[in-house]
């Protein structure tokens, strides 16, 4: 069980900061020199726990039964005729869990070439995508902007293969302008099409 120095559970923000090695009190996080790709890879479990604390929500499932409702439980219809049991309709019931689509949009513009920021951003992006991939009920996608000939380029589509995305991410380099609005216009409709209760877009 993760606890802070005072012996009480930390906030999700505290856990994420400790995982990513973030420092600074000016409102901007900077990379700690000690953090590397290996550190991020080994932090997957902690990152999953932090994300669960921060993002878990109620989701509705047709697990209950009622005497009236919009959906019939076909496997219980025989009880209506044989036993007079009217509880043959599915009733939505809330359960804790994930029902979410997450789009990660990575800035690979020329400014990201300063102090090797693009390498750090690539590592963090794939660490986040890997952690999300391990969570039941979550779908994730990764795009970079600017794209190659367009405002955005897909590295990991929803439902895509994470290993293939890792290989392609290694080839991402910093170049070009920062067409954030245009990139959002491309990825937003795809995110909204996902059949998930919650939809989150993260810009790195």
pLDDT tens column, 151-175: 999 999 999 999 999 999 999 999 9
Residue 32: pLDDT over 50: no
Which range of 9-13, 84-88, 190-194 scores highest in mean pLDDT? It is 190-194
Residue 132: pLDDT over 70: yes
Residue of higher predicted confidence among 54 and 36: 54
- Residue 41: pLDDT band by 50, 70, 90 thresholds? low
Least confident span in 79-83, 140-144, 179-183, 196-200 = 79-83
Output the pTM of the full model.
0.64
* pLDDT computed for residue 187 by the predictor: 97
Residue of higher predicted confidence among 65 and 3: 65
* DSSP track, the chain: ----TTSSPPPHHHHHHHHHTEE-SSS--EE-TT--HHHHHHTHHHHHHHHHHHH-EEEEEEEEEESS-SEE-GGGHHHHHHH-----EEEEEEEEE--EEEEEEEE-SGGGGGGGHHHHHHHHHHHHHHHHHTSTTEEEEEEEES-SSSS-EEEE-TT--HHHHHHHHHT----S---HHHHHHHHHHHHHTS--SEEEEEE-
- Residue 5: pLDDT band by 50, 70, 90 thresholds? very low
* pLDDT computed for residue 142 by the predictor: 98
CA distance 60 to 186: 30
């Amino acid at each position: 069980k993760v606890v802070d120095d005072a012996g009480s559970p930390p906030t999700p923000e505290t856990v994420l900061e400790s995982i990513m090695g973030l420092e600074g009190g000016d409102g901007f996080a900077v990379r700690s020199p000690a953090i590397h790709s290996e550190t991020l890879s080994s932090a997957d479990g902690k990152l999953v726990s932090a994300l669960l604390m921060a993002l878990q929500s109620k989701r509705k499932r047709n697990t209950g039964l009622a005497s009236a409702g919009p959906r019939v439980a076909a496997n219980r219809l025989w009880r209506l005729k044989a036993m007079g049991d009217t509880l043959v309709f599915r009733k939505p019931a809330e359960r804790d869990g994930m029902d979410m689509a997450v789009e990660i949009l990575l800035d690979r513009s020329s400014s990201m070439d300063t102090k090797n920021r693009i390498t750090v951003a690539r590592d963090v992006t794939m660490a986040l995508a890997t952690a999300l991939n391990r969570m039941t009920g979550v779908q994730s996608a990764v795009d970079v902007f600017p794209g190659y000939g367009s405002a955005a380029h897909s590295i990991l589509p929803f439902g895509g293969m994470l290993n293939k995305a890792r290989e392609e991410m290694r080839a991402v380099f910093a170049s070009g302008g920062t067409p954030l609005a245009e990139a959002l216009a491309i990825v937003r409709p795809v995110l909204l099409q996902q059949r998930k209760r919650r939809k989150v877009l993260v810009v790195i």
